Structure 1
Amino acid sequence: MTTAVIKSGQGIRSELSRALKDQSRRAGAEDPNVRGSDYRMVTVSAVNADGTVDADGIPSIRCMETYLLPTVGDVVYATQSSTGNWLAWGRGSTGAFALGSIVEKIKTGSTGRASTATIAADPHLTFAVVPGTYRIDACIFYDADAAVDLKLGWIAPASTTGTWWPGGSDSSNTTQAATTRWGAVTDIGTGTLPVAGIGAGTIVTCRPTGTAVVTTAGTLALAWAQQSGSLTATTVRQFSWLSLRRTA
Structure 2
Amino acid sequence: MNDHSGYWDPLPAARTAADIPVPEAVPNLALTLPHPETYLTGIWAERNWRNVPGPFYAADTDTCWTGRMAAPDHVVYDDATGQEIVYRQPRNAVEVDRLLYAAWTDPLGGYGWDGDQHWTPDSVRAWWRERARLREWATDLRVAWSDHSDPYRREAATGLSDLLLHLDGELEADLRLYLHRLEERRPPPRPVERLPEPRPRDRGSSGRPGPNPLRSHSEVTPHRSAPPQGRA
Query: Is TM (by shorter chain) over 0.5?
Result: no
Larger strand percent: 1
Which one scores higher on RCO, CA 8 angstroms, separation ≥ 6?
1
Length-normalised TM-score, structure 1: 0.20
Larger Rg: 2
Length-normalised TM-score, structure 2: 0.21
